[in-house]
Amino acid sequence: ADILDGIRHGRIFVSTGDLISTADITVSGGSNTVTGIGETLVATGGEVTITVRVTDPAGTNHNGDSPALNRIDIIGGEIQGLLPGMPSYRNTTARVLKRFARSEFRQQGEQIEVSLRLANLSDNYYLRVRGTNSDEAEPAPDLPTENPWQDLWFYTNPVFVTVSEN
C-alpha cells in the first residue's frame, strides 16, 4: 500500500543497477521548508535552496559490481501547463541548473549531499534530480553491444516551488 501511495502522489525515485538506495530532497525558501519528493514549497522572495541527499550503497549489485555515483544533476523548469501547439511532453524552460561532479560531493560514508541556491525565481518552478555513474552528459539509448550495467542512472520525481510575493 505504501509503494502504491508513493507512486500515486509522486513521491518516488528510480535507480538502475543499485546506483543509489535512497534519495531525499529538501527545499527551503524564506521561513518555509519542505522535505520530500513530490512536495510543494511556497517560497517568498524568489530565493530557494535545494539540498539533495542520496545513499551510494557499499557492497555489490545483482551483477556483482559496486557502482560509484559519478555525478548529480539538478534540473529545473517553469511550471507552465500545456501550451497551445506544443506537444505535452515538452517544456522549453527545463534545463540542467547545476552538474555536481564527484569532487563537489559532501560525503560521509555512504551518504552524499549537494546543495544549490537559486535566486530571482519569479515564476512557479519545479526541481528534479538525476545522477549517473558514467561521464555521459545526457542519458542516451543503450546500443545493442553496450553493457547496461556500465551505464547506470537514477531519477527523482520533482519538488514544486510556488513563488509568493508575501
**Cell of residue 29, nine digits:** 525558501
17 Ramachandran zone, left/alpha/beta (phi>0; psi -120 to 50):
left
In the block, which residue shows the cell 537514477?
A: 154
pLDDT in tens, the chain (166 residues): 678 888 888 889 999 999 999 999 999 988 889 888 888 888 887 789 999 999 999 999 999 999 999 999 999 999 877 666 666 667 788 999 999 999 999 999 999 999 999 998 888 999 999 999 999 999 888 889 988 899 999 999 999 998 887 6
Burial (CB count within 10 angstroms: exposed 0-12, middle 13-18, buried 19+), residue 86:
exposed
In the block, which residue shows the cell 563537489?
A: 104
Q: Name the DSSP class of 16.
A: S
Alpha-carbon dihedral sign for residues 36, 37, 43, 45: positive
CATH number of the domain located at residue range(s) 2-135+147-164 in this protein: 2.60.40.10
Predicted TM-score (pTM) of the model is 0.91
Spatial contact of 55 and 63, defined as CB atoms under 8 Å apart: no
- Domains of the chain, residue spans: 2-135+147-164
Give backbone dihedrals phi and psi of 10, rounded to 5 degrees, phi first. 70, 30
In the block, which residue shows the cell 528510480?
A: 14
Alpha-carbon distance values, 99 to 15, 70, 76, 83, 136 (Å) = 18, 10, 12, 28, 12
CA 59 to chain centre: 23
Spatial contact of 132 and 153, defined as CB atoms under 8 Å apart: yes
